[in-house]
Structure 1
Amino acid sequence: MAITSANQLELLQTAEAVAREKMIEPGLVIEAMEESLARAAKSRYGADMDIRVAIDRRTGRASFTRVRTVVEDGEVENYQAEMTVEQAGQYLDAPKVGDTFVEEIPPVELGRIAAQSAKQVILQKVREAERDRQYEEFKDRAGTIINGLVKREEYGNIIVDVGAGEAVLRRNDKIGRESYRPNDRIRAYVKDVRREARGPQIFLSRTAPEFMAELFKMEVPEIYDGIIEIKAVARDPGSRAKIAVISYDHSIDPVGACVGMRGSRVQAVVNELQGEKIDIIPWNEDMPTFLVNALQPAEVSKVVLDEEAERIEIVVPEDQLSLAIGRRGQNVRLASQLTGMDIDIMTEAEESERRQQEFETRTQLFMDSLDLDEFLAQLLVSEGFTSLEEVAYVERDELLVIEGVDEETADELQARARDVLEAQNRAALENARALGVEDSLVAFDALTPQMIEALAKDGIKTLDDFATCADWELAGGYTTVDGQRVKDDGLLEPFDVSLEEAQNMVMTARVLLGWVDPEDLAGAQDEDDEGDGESDEADESGEVAAAGTGES
């Protein structure tokens, strides 16, 4: 069939019909037709030719042209699509390199094979245009809730018709044992939109914490307006969830607003989440207070916060232990997710026993090291002294406040403590040198003899060895393995060296060795100081009595 023998308007009509069906621009369909006809023409005239087809958008007439480009003499590689300046002089006036010569050629006869090839090109182009349209439409909808119809189930994954395309609700993103049948309506959170070779992939989720947050935003106008903010969400999908909210208007109760009149607002979310129980908790900047609220309905006696290790110890009455932990650890697990910290729970009896053991250990330390009787050693521990260093180098006035300790006794205590520490330092240094420690490490002021001994036992014997250490190797830290935080012991952790202190020590060693420019180090320190403008008020080892209550 010759292209000119067909009704030329059919091309435009076909393009418009396909564009309406696929919801893409008619111009894209016509461009696909032009490319398919050009390929068919190349198969007729020769694959090396640069043949182009233009379809008139008003009449539908297809014009076939051959294009040849002018190149330098001797640089012609494709004689079908290129020609020299001399050759171009036969067709063009004053030709120069880069000019093109365009001539019209007869339309091709579309045989069966050529027609089939043209059809495949058009379909491919239309599919690509359709995929681009879908991606552009959905890429900005990631992080929102979408409604759709269930089309089918494939290997446990639900294929959802979302209007202009298909989305996937994977098996692990469904709540519990949810089951759907074709044409069921479904509401889900658009978790991710990715452009892939097989087309845009839209991934949905009903288990994501963000899904619950978006549902509350739909049900609670104050959240949508920004008066109330959702600070954190933790979910055990299909079973229980905790959501922390804060109000920026003191006249509005954030918990009450989320619950709604007779629980209407929260109940709408619960129904959508297959009966998932939801605890709504008031957010508090003070982490211990917030955690007390998060562990409701359990009552908490005491909270001990260790910010550096991102760990919190909770002390509860004996009868509240099971309630605080929850069924299969659910309550404490959700509270941990909500706060972003590891939580250790113990009863008051366990905490008392641990404190008694610490008291006895420290008492025995002072009795053995300072040659004190039990009563005086207990007095030191009761006043908060935990180590020989504290006794040796504390202001004398702090010892004088202890009952029965006068100036002479205080001086004697400090002298004994310093003598013991000096003896321990000498012994540690001798052991370190016996292990092969070099003077470069011994002369490093940031390290005590006991630290040097500990490093030597691990094979770190020079300042160069020390400078290659990572801060977490020295101070310790935590590694996440299979979703669980695992403790990594540090070489200097027994000496209470923090991560920041370890980092400063390593960087100082690198400066001394000439590995790091001191000016670069000072610049980095200035940036850190700017970022640490606000300091936490709570002491890292401080204890906070739990006296607040929250609503759920």
Structure 2
Amino acid sequence: MNKEILMVAEAVSNEKGVEERIIFEAIEQALATATKKRYEEGANIRVVIDPLTGDYETFRWWDVMPDDVLAELGTQLTTDEALEKDPSLKPGDRFEEQVENIGFGRIAAQTAKQVIVQRVKEAERELIINRFRHRVGELLNGTVKKVTRDHIVVDFGDNAEGLLPREELVGREIFRVNDRTRAVLTGIREDVRGPQLAISRAVPEMLTLLFAIEVPEIAEGVIEIKGAARDPGQRAKIAVKSKDARIDPVGACVGMRGARVQAVSGELDDERVDIILWDDNPAQLVINAMAPAEVESIVVDEDAKSMDVAVAADNLAQSIGKGGQNVRLASQLTGWAINVMTVEDAEDKQMAEAVTIVENFMRVLDIDQDVAEVLVEEGFTSIEEVAYVPLDEMSAIDGFDEEVAEELRARAKDALLTMALTSEEELAAGDPADDLLEMEGMERALAFKLASKGVCTMEDLAELAVDDLIEIEEMSEEAAAALIMTARAPWFADEA
């Protein structure tokens, strides 16, 4: 019998690759479960197996409870019962005694088998999780095990399976059972049937990892991949930078006669890959990312993190790309919002903006058109810039002297102060009610602004139309509608 226990532990351990310690624990649990069936009342049982000989001992134990707690029959002892067994026992102690072993017979063996299977599954699950926990983001090689309508199951060996959803495939690629494939491990999902590796071939990391395989300079750290953007199976852009001035990063990634980039493209269902040179200057980076389109001019708005890119009219379609693909990928790669327009449209927009700024300067600073136009030509776009520009910088403008510069700065500062006071007065003019201030989605500044316009309660807000709210506070129609519907919620509650 003891030899049988050792044989079972060794056989299961070798077959499943699980430590014998875990198998012994499962057998101990099975024997304890079988032993409990001897007792009509509940019983606390533990079994200890000697892993060298297979000998085992069985123990039953009780917890000693204080006098003011009702002891459970079979698993707990009152203080008096405990003292009868051992005078040294006190509440909180545990009394244990050895009981007769149950034979490792058919019933115990069946129970042991069930417990062993469960414990082995748990152990295998833990092994897989530990094996892949630190490999998230890596490229894995596997074999297609199963193909369904919704996903593909990829076998990575040692009971590790990856789930590749159809939407994470590249283009129209087709897989069959036993096909070899590669995918990026994006995460580990724990399931009742065991852990499943979430994998993808559509993420940008798939592209960068394939280039790291094909381009030795990337693997060696000489060339760095700074970013990647993809429309899986159609087109991608990747930005590279060389740490060695003697090495052309774009040429290295393209390879002799395009061999390297073609190898990557072939792995990704002939996905077209644009390799661009990384530049720390955001404007130049966007110009590079727009390739193969040629950029005529570019205007950067750092506050909005956007750029207006002007191209020739006959180059506009190529710049935007099919379905906006080229500009969308360039935007994803650079992290900047890109607005593509013709040179003529860009000039019209700049002229319109310049006219608006000139009119604003004339009105706020009380200056004539010629002076306002000079300020715009010198790059001033706001009252704040005029107010806080260094005196020597402004006085150096052609036609300005120190006196004119000081006067313009003083007027700008006075205008800013007046605007600040006016804003405070508008906010103080109305006093929003508590229900408006505490309404979900309401910001305090907006509540006071609404109150200054006579919208002081949720009821007032509920009676507004979307256009009315947008006139008071600039926001999207969706945001305005959401606020109004929140304010109207009590109406529907009353009806209900």
Residues 1:184 and 2:179 aligned together: yes
Aligned partners of 2:61 and 2:94 also within 8 Å? no
CA distance in 1, matches of 2:190, 2:152: 20
Aligned partners of 1:247 and 1:253 also within 8 Å? yes
CA distance in 1, matches of 2:123, 2:351: 74
| 1:343-381 CA distance string (max 9 Å, x none) | 001111111222333455556667889999877876675
CA distance in 2, matches of 1:137, 1:396: 65
Aligned residue number for residue 217 of structure 2: 222
| 1:29-74 CA distance string (max 9 Å, x none) | 1210110111011012345222222223223233333334556667
Aligned partner of residue 121 in structure 1, secondary structure: helix
Query: What is the CA-CA distance between 1:489 and the residue it aligns to?
Result: 9.0
| Residue among 448, 452, 459 paired with 2:420 | 448
Aligned partner of residue 309 in structure 1, secondary structure: coil
Residues 1:60 and 2:54 aligned together: yes
Larger RCO, structure (CA 8 Å, separation 6 or more): 1
Aligned partner of residue 188 in structure 2, secondary structure: strand
Distance of aligned partners of 1:182 and 1:391 in 2 relative to their CA distance in 1, 3 Å threshold: closer
Aligned partners of 1:91 and 1:101 also within 8 Å? no
Aligned partners of 2:240 and 2:278 also within 8 Å? yes
What is the correspondence of 1:96-495 to structure 2 with a 5 Å cutoff? Answer: 98=93, 100-108=95-103, 110=105, 112=107, 115-164=109-158, 165-361=160-356, 382=377, 447-452=419-424, 468-469=444-445
Distance of aligned partners of 1:9 and 1:306 in 2 relative to their CA distance in 1, 3 Å threshold: same
Flag structure 1 segments of 5+ consecutive residues without an equivalent.
1-6, 426-443, 475-487, 495-552
Residues 1:10 and 2:17 aligned together: no
CA distance in 2, matches of 1:76, 1:386: 82
Aligned partner of residue 190 in structure 2, secondary structure: strand
Q: Percent identity?
A: 42
Aligned partner of residue 330 in structure 2, secondary structure: helix
Q: Residue 245 of structure 2 aligns to which amino acid in structure 1? A: H
Aligned partners of 1:316 and 1:345 also within 8 Å? yes
Distance of aligned partners of 1:181 and 1:16 in 2 relative to their CA distance in 1, 3 Å threshold: same
Residues 1:32 and 2:32 aligned together: no
Query: What is the CA-CA distance between 1:386 and the residue it aligns to?
Result: 6.0
Distance of aligned partners of 1:297 and 1:31 in 2 relative to their CA distance in 1, 3 Å threshold: same
CA distance in 2, matches of 1:15, 1:490: 77
Distance of aligned partners of 1:375 and 1:79 in 2 relative to their CA distance in 1, 3 Å threshold: closer
Aligned partners of 1:135 and 1:193 also within 8 Å? yes
Distance of aligned partners of 1:460 and 1:186 in 2 relative to their CA distance in 1, 3 Å threshold: farther
Q: Residue 333 of structure 1 aligns to which amino acid in structure 2? A: R
Query: What is the CA-CA distance between 1:312 and the residue it aligns to?
Result: 0.9
Distance of aligned partners of 1:262 and 1:58 in 2 relative to their CA distance in 1, 3 Å threshold: same
Q: Residue 255 of structure 1 aligns to which amino acid in structure 2? A: V
Q: Residue 290 of structure 1 aligns to which amino acid in structure 2? A: L
Aligned residue number for residue 484 of structure 2: none
Taking structure 1 as the reference length, what is the TM-score of the superposition?
A: 0.69
Aligned partners of 2:34 and 2:102 also within 8 Å? no
Aligned partners of 2:41 and 2:74 also within 8 Å? no
Aligned partners of 2:154 and 2:164 also within 8 Å? yes
Distance of aligned partners of 1:72 and 1:454 in 2 relative to their CA distance in 1, 3 Å threshold: closer
Residues 1:49 and 2:34 aligned together: no
Q: Residue 158 of structure 1 aligns to which amino acid in structure 2? A: I
Query: What is the CA-CA distance between 1:260 and the residue it aligns to?
Result: 2.1
CA distance in 2, matches of 1:188, 1:199: 20
Aligned partners of 2:57 and 2:98 also within 8 Å? no
Aligned partner of residue 448 in structure 1, secondary structure: helix
Distance of aligned partners of 1:130 and 1:378 in 2 relative to their CA distance in 1, 3 Å threshold: closer
Aligned length: 446
Distance of aligned partners of 1:367 and 1:334 in 2 relative to their CA distance in 1, 3 Å threshold: closer
Query: What is the CA-CA distance between 1:279 and the residue it aligns to?
Result: 1.0
CA distance in 2, matches of 1:64, 1:392: 88
Q: Residue 237 of structure 2 aligns to which amino acid in structure 1? A: K
Aligned partner of residue 221 in structure 2, secondary structure: coil
Aligned partners of 2:49 and 2:55 also within 8 Å? yes
Aligned partners of 1:32 and 1:121 also within 8 Å? yes
Aligned partner of residue 101 in structure 1, secondary structure: strand
CA distance in 2, matches of 1:383, 1:56: 89
| 1:471-496 CA distance string (max 9 Å, x none) | xx99xxxxxxxxxxxxx9998999xx
| 1:165-188 CA distance string (max 9 Å, x none) | 211001211112222111111110
Query: What is the CA-CA distance between 1:388 and the residue it aligns to?
Result: 8.2
Query: What is the CA-CA distance between 1:245 and the residue it aligns to?
Result: 1.0
Query: What is the CA-CA distance between 1:210 and the residue it aligns to?
Result: 0.9
Q: Residue 138 of structure 1 aligns to which amino acid in structure 2? A: F
Flag structure 2 segments of 5+ consecutive residues without an equivalent.
451-468, 476-496
Q: Residue 17 of structure 1 aligns to which amino acid in structure 2? A: A
Aligned partners of 2:45 and 2:58 also within 8 Å? yes
Query: What is the CA-CA distance between 1:401 and the residue it aligns to?
Result: 6.0
Query: What is the CA-CA distance between 1:204 and the residue it aligns to?
Result: 0.2
Aligned residue number for residue 429 of structure 1: none
CA distance in 2, matches of 1:390, 1:142: 48
Query: What is the CA-CA distance between 1:309 and the residue it aligns to?
Result: 0.8
Aligned partner of residue 45 in structure 1, secondary structure: coil
Q: Residue 152 of structure 1 aligns to which amino acid in structure 2? A: K
Distance of aligned partners of 1:491 and 1:291 in 2 relative to their CA distance in 1, 3 Å threshold: farther
Query: What is the CA-CA distance between 1:106 and the residue it aligns to?
Result: 3.9
Aligned residue number for residue 514 of structure 1: none
Query: What is the CA-CA distance between 1:307 and the residue it aligns to?
Result: 1.4
Aligned partners of 1:38 and 1:53 also within 8 Å? yes
Q: Residue 263 of structure 1 aligns to which amino acid in structure 2? A: G
Aligned partners of 1:230 and 1:244 also within 8 Å? yes
| 1:426-474 CA distance string (max 9 Å, x none) | xxxxxxxxxxxxxxxxxx96953554477579x6789xx899338xx99
Q: Residue 144 of structure 1 aligns to which amino acid in structure 2? A: E
| 1:181-204 CA distance string (max 9 Å, x none) | 111111100011133444322100
Query: What is the CA-CA distance between 1:108 and the residue it aligns to?
Result: 4.5
Query: What is the CA-CA distance between 1:99 and the residue it aligns to?
Result: 5.6
Aligned partners of 1:241 and 1:334 also within 8 Å? yes
Query: What is the CA-CA distance between 1:258 and the residue it aligns to?
Result: 1.6
CA distance in 2, matches of 1:101, 1:397: 90
Aligned partner of residue 195 in structure 2, secondary structure: strand
